[in-house]
């Protein structure tokens, strides 16, 4: 399946052929993210984009006895030994601020899923040395394969993979101010980014699918589209913008089908602002009627819900009672009932990992996103309409 999804590039990677920078990929158990980034880096640097030097810890080096462990005590000594063994290479990074990210191997067999947020990453701690950041990052990534979120995701989608991961170590970009994500097939490009640290603080991204408004947006589009053309396939590119306005590619991977659906639907639009519903991934337009069941206020009411209830949860509560993640976990316990869900957001409906998880969940029939200020009272008879692109409208029909 992986070869069919990624085409000729993945075939070369799988067979251990050389990619553009002379690196030979692993013939088996490869991380496509790793191979793509290594192939992209020479082009990015030549084009004037930052692309941080990365070190990789292959999954095969993780001792079998530690692969299923989730407690720190057995993992940390081995992680410290790995960090010490990589010490000479770390010296070349000229910083102690290191990210450690998972490069999941199960993506190669499940391209129909986004895996958004399923695996944990480590962000550097300023007070730690490079070796300490690396050791603790290795531990967190290995532990993060078995979070409640990951367990839910694998169970719901009947995934049987062993959650094997390569680990990528990269240095923090000096002066990094904000970030974004772009999707392109080389001909069409759409990207979402935070134009300023203030926009980042208030979670108000700007999505651009057409008509870039300034030189920075033109350059972002050129970079993301150029990456797709360089690799010869649709790509999902994560990038950073530093204080001087320079662009840096931090990660690159094939577009998953859920991301591709969102990208294609939004390629011609533009949205920004505190309540920009177009920043959520789209579902098909829908309209449902029923009684508002405010699980964000009364989580225990889930046990007595009826087929006519529209379930309201608090997006930001995550896997706490009354949160969207919590509801996704518990939906299998109430089968054969319509699951129409409205996820309430505190300020904005910007896309995040849970939004993707809910959109992909086969137990969810209808999914809407709404700012909390527009939520109806518990028990109100309502009609909810819209979709990710059109936004969400709630009409009060009675009580």
- pLDDT, one tens digit per residue, over 158-184 is 998 889 998 989 888 888 899 999 988
Cβ atoms within 10 Å of 52's Cβ, excluding its own? 21
335 vs 196: CA distance, rounded Å = 45
Res 1: pLDDT:
30
pTM, rounded to two decimals = 0.81
Grade residue 33 by pLDDT with cuts at 50, 70 and 90.
confident
- pLDDT, one tens digit per residue, over 371-396 is 888 889 999 999 988 765 446 788 88
309 vs 383: CA distance, rounded Å = 11
Hey, which bits of the chain come out as E strands?
A: 54-57, 98-104, 165-171, 176-184, 189-193, 206-208, 235-242, 247-254, 270-271, 286-294, 309-314, 340-345, 366-371, 381-387, 391-398
- pLDDT, one tens digit per residue, over 137-163 is 999 999 999 999 999 999 999 998 889
95 vs 91: CA distance, rounded Å = 8
């Amino acid at each position: 399946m992986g070869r069919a999804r990624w085409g000729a590039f993945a075939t070369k990677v799988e067979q251990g052929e050389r990619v553009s920078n002379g690196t030979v990929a692993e013939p088996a158990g490869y991380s496509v993210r790793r191979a793509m980034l290594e192939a992209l880096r020479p082009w990015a640097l030549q084009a004037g984009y930052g692309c941080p030097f990365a070190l990789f810890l292959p999954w095969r080096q993780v001792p079998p006895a530690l692969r299923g462990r989730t407690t720190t005590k057995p993992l940390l000594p081995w992680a410290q030994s790995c960090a010490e063994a990589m010490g000479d290479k770390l010296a070349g990074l000229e910083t102690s601020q290191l990210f450690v990210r998972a490069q999941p191997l199960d993506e190669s067999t499940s391209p129909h899923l986004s895996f958004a947020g399923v695996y944990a990453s480590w962000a550097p701690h300023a007070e730690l040395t490079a070796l300490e950041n690396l050791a603790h990052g290795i531990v967190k990534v290995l532990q993060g394969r078995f979070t409640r979120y990951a367990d839910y995701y694998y169970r719901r989608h009947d995934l049987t993979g062993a959650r094997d991961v390569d680990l990528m170590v990269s240095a923090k970009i000096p002066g990094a101010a904000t970030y974004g994500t772009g999707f392109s097939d080389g001909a069409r490009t759409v990207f979402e980014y935070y134009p300023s640290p203030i926009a980042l603080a208030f979670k108000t991204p700007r999505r651009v699918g057409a008509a870039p408004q300034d030189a920075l947006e033109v350059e972002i589009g050129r970079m993301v589209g150029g990456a797709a053309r360089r690799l010869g396939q649709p790509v999902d590119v994560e990038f950073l913008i530093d204080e001087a306005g320079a662009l840096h590619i931090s990660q690159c991977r094939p577009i998953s089908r859920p991301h591709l659906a969102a990208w294609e639907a939004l390629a011609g639009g533009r949205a920004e602002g505190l309540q920009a519903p177009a920043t959520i991934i789209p579902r098909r337009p829908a309209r449902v009627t029923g009684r508002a069941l405010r699980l964000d206020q009364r989580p225990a009411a889930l046990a007595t819900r009826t087929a006519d209830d529209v379930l309201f949860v608090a997006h930001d509560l995550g896997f706490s009672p009354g949160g969207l993640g919590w509801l996704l976990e518990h939906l299998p316990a109430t089968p054969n009932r319509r699951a129409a869900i409205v996820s309430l957001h505190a300020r904005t409906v910007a896309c995040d990992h849970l939004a993707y998880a809910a959109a992909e969940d086969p137990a969810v029939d209808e999914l809407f996103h709404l700012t909390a200020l527009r939520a109806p009272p518990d028990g109100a008879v309502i009609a909810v309409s819209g979709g990710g692109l059109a936004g969400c409208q709630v009409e009060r029909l009675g009580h």
